Chain A
């Protein structure tokens, strides 16, 4: 059986199942609220109206993506185990890592649908269709981060309870953004051990702060091609790492 056939089937199955849940619609509703709020907030300003509109709207997109990735990612496999729907699938001649890849594939579909849906809705609502490529690039950077979070959430979700994994996934997202801030404060302490520790941690976590393009400036001044390629390669290296970890731990997970 073709390696990718079962992954594709499981991805589509997972995505269609999650799309039917109220949770997904709740995120869409929250995102629509974000678009509305971004308009409301921008109308309070005369000088930086567009900046507020774009910054707030794109932040809404990233929050929606992170919620989808972390909530669904941490629950994707455990939910199937709890409901016992996984048993009949595991009894089929497919290796366990296909199930992990299928779960990640469903997250990819959900994140793609959400990213394009939100970006189009936002661009139409702001009437800035000519800026669509810039918006798509900015949204793409959030999508890359969401895919890293998805693979992390899957890996942690097969190791610990989903609720704990969810907390860890959200902390991971915040941590990957805020390391330069932590570094700044640690340098103020002049503690050489802490400085070395933060430097070491900086080397082993995804650097979301280096492709934080969900803002007005990046929409108006698109990142360079090289910057974009770096962001894609950096993200996919982390995605592969976490998917490998998820597959490794799921391989020996007991489905009790």
Chain B
């Protein structure tokens, strides 16, 4: 079953009214099947975050289609989607539990079951010891983990993570990677953008690669790197070819 289908997504931005519109996404198409862990790769400015923002209706594509669970995107779909933005910033005056309660209340009709679910996600992201601490006292890694906790809180069918490991120290990165591995074992469908190829190689089974707003690859990870030692080497080689193509 297709959880997400992106068809010919196009997006242009105009920074000033007198300037020419800049194309940031040009015919992006890919799909995510149920249970897949999809890595979303591309250099800075390639259009990863813009694509994710289009998926979640934060910005509106000029053309193209986005289908969630086989339907056009609607508000109800958000109940089935968990999202962690890049470099998340949360309401610092709330405690971990209050923060999760806020997101529970914004998603669910009643508070029934919150405490049980909060206990599960706190354990999953290894923050049980800090659940009553204010977020302003959380480290960057802890904030990233509470971000994952809020994304998982309502038991989503599909998780979208925008660079969940950026800027973390090695310990934080290892911990997040372990959490993501656990999610993979539970067969959760995940779309994760990242620059950390080594981590993606460990976690993902599918890859979507964008470069300068253009779709470059969408398919199994193994196929992409089959002629190379690892993902990094394959990516480096292909990137040279794509850049040459752009310059030519």
Structural contact, B58 and A254, CB atoms closer than 8 A: yes
The reply to whether the CB of B119 lies closer than 8 angstroms to some CB of chain A is no
The reply to whether the CB of A191 lies closer than 8 angstroms to some CB of chain B is no
The interface on chain A, measured as residues whose beta carbon lies within 8 A of the other chain's beta carbons, has a size of: 26
Chain A residue numbers with a CB within 8 Å of B76 are 93
B82: nearest residue on chain A (CB-CB)? A91
Question: Are A87 and B78 also in contact (CB < 8 A) when A9-B102, A255-B53 are?
Answer: no
Chain A residue numbers with a CB within 8 Å of B196 are none
Give Cα A16–Cα B92 distance, bound, in whole angstroms: 11
Give Cα A9–Cα B94 distance, bound, in whole angstroms: 13
- Nearest Cβ on chain A to B80's Cβ, whole angstroms: 9
The reply to whether the CB of A42 lies closer than 8 angstroms to some CB of chain B is no
The reply to whether the CB of B213 lies closer than 8 angstroms to some CB of chain A is no
Stretch of B106-114, B216-224, B239-247 contacting A (4+ beta carbons < 8 Å): B106-114
Give Cα A132–Cα B61 distance, bound, in whole angstroms: 56
- Nearest Cβ on chain B to A73's Cβ, whole angstroms: 19
- Nearest Cβ on chain A to B11's Cβ, whole angstroms: 10
The reply to whether the CB of B39 lies closer than 8 angstroms to some CB of chain A is no
Chain B residue numbers with a CB within 8 Å of A6 are 105-106
Structural contact, A1 and B109, CB atoms closer than 8 A: yes
- Nearest Cβ on chain B to A94's Cβ, whole angstroms: 6
Structural contact, B105 and A5, CB atoms closer than 8 A: yes
Structural contact, A87 and B58, CB atoms closer than 8 A: yes
B residues with a Cβ closer than 8 A to A are 13, 53, 56-60, 75-76, 78-79, 81-85, 87-91, 93, 102-103, 105-109, 147, 150
29 examples of A-B residue contacts, CB within 8 angstroms:
A1-B107, A2-B109, A5-B109, A6-B105, A9-B102, A9-B105, A13-B91, A16-B93, A17-B93, A20-B93, A84-B87, A85-B89, A85-B90, A88-B103, A88-B147, A90-B57, A91-B82, A92-B78, A92-B106, A93-B76, A93-B106, A93-B107, A94-B75, A95-B75, A252-B60, A254-B58, A256-B13, A256-B58, A256-B59
Structural contact, B107 and A88, CB atoms closer than 8 A: no
Structural contact, B150 and A88, CB atoms closer than 8 A: yes
Chain B residue numbers with a CB within 8 Å of A121 are none
A residues with a Cβ closer than 8 A to B are 1-2, 5-6, 9-10, 13, 16-17, 20, 83-85, 87-95, 252, 254-256
Chain A residue numbers with a CB within 8 Å of B60 are 252, 254
Q: Which of B60, B88, B91, B147 has the most CB of A within 10 A?
A: B91
B109: nearest residue on chain A (CB-CB)? A1
Give Cα A94–Cα B79 distance, bound, in whole angstroms: 10
B74: nearest residue on chain A (CB-CB)? A93
Structural contact, B89 and A83, CB atoms closer than 8 A: yes
A90's partner among B56, B87, B91, B109 (CB-CB below 8 A) is: B56
Chain B residue numbers with a CB within 8 Å of A1 are 107-109
Structural contact, A84 and B109, CB atoms closer than 8 A: no
A256: nearest residue on chain B (CB-CB)? B59
Give Cα A89–Cα B104 distance, bound, in whole angstroms: 11
A-B interface, 9 closest residue pairs, ranked by CB to CB distance from nearest = A91-B83, A93-B78, A255-B58, A92-B106, A254-B59, A87-B85, A93-B79, A83-B89, A84-B89
A10: nearest residue on chain B (CB-CB)? B106
Structural contact, A255 and B75, CB atoms closer than 8 A: no
- Nearest Cβ on chain B to A79's Cβ, whole angstroms: 11
Structural contact, A94 and B106, CB atoms closer than 8 A: yes
Known interface pairs A92-B107, A256-B13; 13 further A-B residue pairs with C-beta atoms within 8 A, sorted by A's residue number: A9-B102, A9-B105, A13-B102, A16-B93, A20-B93, A85-B89, A87-B58, A88-B90, A88-B147, A89-B106, A91-B78, A93-B79, A254-B60
- Nearest Cβ on chain B to A5's Cβ, whole angstroms: 7
